Structure 1
Amino acid sequence: MHWLDADGYVIGRLLVTRGLAALYLVAFLAALLQFRALIGERGMLPVPDFVRRRSFRSAPSVFHWRFTDRTFAAEAIVGVLLAALTLVGVTERLPLMACMLVWFALWVLYLSIVNVGQVWYAFGWESLLLEAGVLAIFLGNAEIAPQFLVLIMLRWLLFRVEFGAGLIKWRGDRCWRDLTCLYYHHETQPMPGPLSRWFHRLPRPLHRMEVAGNHVTQLVVPFALFIPQPGAGIAAVIMIVTQLWLVLSGNFAWLNWITIVLALSVLPDSFFAVVLTPNPDFAPTPGLFTAAVIALTAVVAILSYRPVRNLMSKRQAMNASFNRWHFVNTYGAFGSITRTRIEVIVDGTTDSVVTPATRWHEYEFKGKPGDVFRRPRQCAPYHRRLDWMMWFAGLSRDYAVGWFPQFVVRLLDNDPDTLRLLRHNPFPDAPPALVRARVFRYRYATRAEHRASGAWWVREEAGDFMHPVSRADLAGL
């Protein structure tokens, strides 16, 4: 055995590579199905306009050379195919260099999307997938042993994800320190799931226990990742259980799932001995590959300076990338919690002039709350980007300045690409004459209210988000 080979982590490596491949598959599929309306040639924030303003050096992407809807679709399809082949085990059976090239291609292709994706891709799990994707390049194929240094780098990434999230909460909203944040969060989170209302209805002492358990998992347990087994494995299991709890309670794209995948890398083969005991016969690890792993470790150590400094800072940044490659980032989420759920509801009418008799018809989204009689759906790890940004719009109009008017224009045009992102188009035959947006306060229906009416939500109008506008009003967009 080579001196840097890790003994007893065959299953962990297998689960990590298959898990990351599955998440890459979801990410590329989401890009393929949503890009035309969001960043396509006729999208709300077109990539051609973006790359004219930004240099390759500031936002590396293959789309600086050429972008059309067709080339983006082709790139996303290639990503889907490579991820699918990796998921079913084809990539790991390739020669080492070919295996590394497949993982490198997945990283380059997705980096190219993220770096031109603008606000639609400004989420921490994008950088997290890219950083994990770089490390996956060096996990090796099925012929060589897992590399000890790569496993340590995966643990370091997991540590930053969990510890960063814990610190941002402890330093942020007071409700994290007095253990009351979950009195609100299950109701006000960006994308509630089918069980979120049930979680919200748990007794308040349990909510306080949830928050306390979260603090232990994110602020104490991560340090145990670097102690000998079985301690490190037990710490990873605690993180996995906590993340599965979050999976059940809401929709956070692939944030929870990739954290689970990273934690699986910590589990030694002995944890799976009841069901499987691998007995691999590895080939010698090539010297050049070992040198590349050592070089990568040195790069990670150097680039870790800024994330560590950020973790120690009282002004800790949340989900920040310190380089254009999205490598060795800082993470964290929900440092502050909203107490009231605000939803922006968009509707339209065929009347060109608003009168007391005007009938307005709502647009229904696939993920975010709208119709009070519709139970929230489970969509994670799939990421509905427009729905997420609508949640941010409810927090502040500033989050919507750059794209919401363009969204309305496309509704007034009955743009098919935009309408495919919605669950329901109330104007299938002809575009609306006017579109408006209003702000509503939402809360979960009580048990009595749900039994009486069947409604999952109760809402109250709170004001205007955008007054009625026609296509002529937005002629310049």
Structure 2
Amino acid sequence: MEWLGTTDYDLAREVLQRGVAAIFVVAFLSTLQQFPALLGERGLLPVPRFLEYAYARKQPTIFRWHYSDRMLRLVCAGGIGVGLALVVGVPQLGPAWVPTLCFLVLWGLYLSVVTMGQTFYGFGWESLLLEAGFIVAWLGSSETATPIPVIWFLRWLVFRLEFGAGMIKLRGDRSWRDLTALYYHHETQPMPGPLSRQAHLLPKPLHRLEVLGNHFAQLVVPWLLFAPQPVASAAAAVIVLTQLWLVVTGNFAWLNWLTIVLAFAAIDDATVHALIAAWPAGAGPEGMPIWFGVPVLAVTALLVALSWFPARNLVAKRQLMNASFNRWHLVNAYGAFGSVTQTRYEIIVEGTDAEFPDESADWRAYEFPGKPGDPRRIPRQFAPYHLRLDWLMWFLALGSPDTGWFDAFLRRLLEADPRTLRLLRVDPFHGERPRWVRATVWHYRFTSREEKRRTGLVWMRESLGEAYPPRRLRAG
């Protein structure tokens, strides 16, 4: 089946397979370190309790019959091991079915985690990783040519990801249409990075150019991914550059990193060879065995059929953002920041060991690794690692009605639960139990250059009162 394969995308296959596998390693590492405290047997939203619902038991997960924290750790260890093997490139040296099997194992194991993850795994990049892993599974190995249908479907994935995000912005917040969105976004995004303040302080005309550049990159450039070479490669390069700017100015878990990897589906070897003469062009194996070509065609046909739903969503008046249309998280709808918040609110969690929880008490703040707290602290870079608790704290400050996990979180702080405390950067009670905890809400904004010189602060903040009144453990 020589017509089904190509020697023009050997570099793309290497980057796609190793890059997606690397993101899986990060995802499983994040799960290993956070899942037991968030969703484990004594987690904030315990999976065993979730499995009592008929809906949960119908999900495609190996945990549907039984869950334990030990089993979860074994799943993560297995995923990390298989992912690292793919990053190194060992399975790619064998027959085409070997890397296919490895990626399907990663997809299946992580699907088992995501479907049990409830609100802590309700992010669009979870579905993006699952879809990418399933598609990349069919790229074959170094013994076969790169399957053309898979390369084209990966471009369709990048198109949905970028164009969907662009359309959700135009249909959503007016600030995207009047070019003012980035007056606010760098300051109010969920988890700012080390350079977010500098980006926020850029002149407003540059912010307007940023928005125009974003619209061009998301609404025009994705169409060029399907153009002849080298236009498609140039379009991919634009996407890579814009995603790198997002990496520098924010913390969006692995969303930007995975998009960069997937964009390589449009970069051919001839273009790379023209820029880097040492890179060989068209030097890979030719042809594809029928035993691998037939499944590739069958899977492509399935994915094309499933594309009806996200394609219809792109032109719908009420476009869905980050939606899956099947339990397997294949061929999803994507999009982010359809609206931009213009004011930053932060929930600060505090505890005291005073007998009475009034303002005379010594209230000490718990600090999170990523979200703003101490106004002197420069935001850190965590992406592509995903701090799930920090992200949900951002949604909580926006008034999210999903608060069951937070009530459980406050109870764990009162118990000084070691697993929960390990999710934090600072435990002001050093492992001991506070007598009371509460949550206050604050208005945060970046300091100006003059304010920074005068005070040394990164954030200026103003108290807006209590969000959750003091509570303590009930006797017995």
Normalization by structure 2: what TM-score?
A: 0.97
Deviations along 1:318-352, one digit per CA (max 9) or x if unpaired, are 00000000000000000000000000000000013
- Which amino acid letter does the alignment assign opposite residue 343 of structure 2? T
CA RMSD of aligned residues (A): 1.3
Match of 1:111 in 2: 111
Q: How does 1:183-194 map to 2 (within 5 A)?
A: 183-194=183-194
Q: How does 1:258-269 map to 2 (within 5 A)?
A: 258-269=258-269
Q: Which moved more, 1:380-389 or 1:300-309?
A: 300-309
Q: Is the 8 A contact 1:11 1:278 kept in 2?
A: no
Q: Distance in 1 between matches of 2:154 and 2:60?
A: 24
CA offset at residue 7 of structure 1? 2.8
Instruction: Determine which of 336, 339, 342 is the counterpart of 2:342.
Output: 339
1:303 correspondence with 2:284: no
Match of 1:388 in 2: 391
Deviations along 1:349-394, one digit per CA (max 9) or x if unpaired, are 0013124431000000000000001000000000000000000000
1:24 correspondence with 2:24: yes
Q: 1:397 to 1:326 in 2, by over 3 A?
A: closer
Number of residue pairs matched? Answer: 473
Structure 1 unpaired stretches of 5+: none
1:230 correspondence with 2:230: yes
Q: How does 1:37-436 map to 2 (within 5 A)?
A: 37-55=37-55, 58-273=58-273, 274=276, 275-277=278-280, 280-282=283-285, 284-399=287-402, 401-436=403-438
Q: Distance in 2 between matches of 1:356 and 1:370?
A: 20
Q: Which moved more, 1:119-128 or 1:285-294?
A: 285-294
Deviations along 1:446-471, one digit per CA (max 9) or x if unpaired, are 11111122110000011211000001
SS at match of 1:406: helix
Deviations along 1:259-289, one digit per CA (max 9) or x if unpaired, are 1111012100123211411563526412121
Match of 1:448 in 2: 450
SS at match of 1:468: strand
Runs of 4+ in 1 over 4 A off after TM superposition: none
Q: Is the 8 A contact 1:346 1:438 kept in 2?
A: yes
Q: 1:356 to 1:322 in 2, by over 3 A?
A: closer
Q: Distance in 2 between matches of 1:73 and 1:38?
A: 14
Q: Distance in 2 between matches of 1:8 and 1:456?
A: 49
Q: Is the 8 A contact 2:96 2:141 kept in 1?
A: yes
Q: Is the 8 A contact 1:183 1:207 kept in 2?
A: yes
Match of 2:467 in 1: 465
Q: Distance in 2 between matches of 1:65 and 1:213?
A: 49
SS at match of 1:75: helix
Normalization by structure 1: what TM-score?
A: 0.97
Q: Is the 8 A contact 2:40 2:46 kept in 1?
A: yes
Q: Distance in 1 between matches of 2:129 and 2:414?
A: 36
Q: 1:158 to 1:402 in 2, by over 3 A?
A: same
SS at match of 2:336: coil
CA offset at residue 397 of structure 1? 4.2
Structure 2 unpaired stretches of 5+: none
CA offset at residue 100 of structure 1? 1.4
- Which amino acid letter does the alignment assign opposite residue 441 of structure 1? H
1:15 correspondence with 2:40: no
What is the percentage of aligned positions where both structures have the same residue? 52
Q: Distance in 2 between matches of 1:102 and 1:382?
A: 22
